[in-house]
Structure 1
Amino acid sequence: MFHWRAEILPGVSAAFTDSGAGNLALHVGDDAGAVQRRREQLEAAAGIEPRSLRFMNQVHGTTVAVMDRGSGTPEADAMVSRSQPLAVMVADCIPLLLAGTSADGHVLAAVHAGRPGVANGVIPSAVDTMRSLGAADIRAWLGPSICGRCYEVPPALRDEVAAAVPATWSTTSWGTPALDLPAGARSQLENAGVGVEYAGPCTLETASLYSYRRDSGTGRFAGLVWCHD
């Protein structure tokens, strides 16, 4: 069920699922009841309170939603919270998890960092929102995503994104234009003073992970971050 799982700070854990957890997205044509059961099984496996794990309606934007126990499902590509378990769904985009500390406890974030999000600054926006809640010593965990050797794009698109985030400029292993989103995310985090603690493998090259580039009809795996006793 878990590709990777760890206690990242005292009382805080993070994880990235694999295809063994099944599709966790409601927007890919799967049966909604089956998806909800998988989400409940994921909560149970992680030790998260039932029906408390918060997901987003992800739209490749830069909106950051601040979540509390009364929050619903936001249309956003990042969530920040002191108390709620947070999840982000992907199948080649970067599932970015962040955690920091404040005088009032932990501050957590889950970010959907695809090409538009990286180019338009969803990562710095999430970090800024965490700091507005008093977070310090913020650290990052980059989940599995498509790598710069595999993410082929048209030359004009590479130029456009690299103009905004130079570290994304890349070439595939077969010599064509590409984007390296993990490198771009790392550069934005470093510029924001955030250390990267973990980076996952390439989704396209890892059979146990969903990859949209490998199969456009695929499901979505999740990154999640939560507080516990």
Structure 2
Amino acid sequence: MGFLGPIPADKLAASYNVHTQTLTLSAEGEARNYTTGIQFERQSWLGGYKFNLEGWTGPLADPESYEHYTHEQAFQLQMPSRVAPSGSVIIATANHPSGVAVPVRFLGGFIPPAENEATEKATTAPAQAAAGAAPAAAPVEAPHAAPQLMQPDNQKINVLFKMPFNIQEGDRVPTGGTVTMKFDPSVLTLEKAGIQGTNIVWTLNSLKTGNTQVIVTVTGGIAQYVIQKIYDVRIFVLD
């Protein structure tokens, strides 16, 4: 069933509404059949605003079969800011794993002044970007080192179909850090979440039988690191 990973994109675009402080990202392309739950996931990055384009893929109807998709998603954030003074965002995809610089089209206000030559080029996007089409963005190098990624060995969970099960993580979040949990919504559903003792506990239930994953990500705040715990979940029925 669904396994989370990066997906390719043929077109990427970004716009920012100055009045509502809303950044809207869009992507279009061909993804493996079947891919669901496509989303932009914001990353911890000292160089500005960076996002991964990812989705839940599987089961594969045909390894060579692809289907067209479009996706649009909004984020509430402030641009420009001290951490992202430029007029562009970085988006990493399956075909550009290091990321591409996507110029931001500013709406409802003045475009922020360029901080440097690189920013000026980003804020003066070509006419096709102004019309909403994706520019031919080139891969970019991150100006700062990416956060250290730590991935413990996968943990395996066997659960009965339609029987709730728990995923838990310590509630001691680093200063400025985050704890998030992701799953394939076509396979699992979240029944409740809360604090039990010193743990964050998520109670999930199954919608289908088969295999899927639950991913818990802990990001550092001041110390830049990412701990990603992957739970391989097997959902079965008793004979």
- Specify the TM-score bucket, using the shorter chain as the normaliser: under 0.3
Scaled by the length of structure 1, the TM-score of the pair is 0.25
Higher helix share: 1
Higher strand share: 2
Scaled by the length of structure 2, the TM-score of the pair is 0.24
Larger Rg: 2
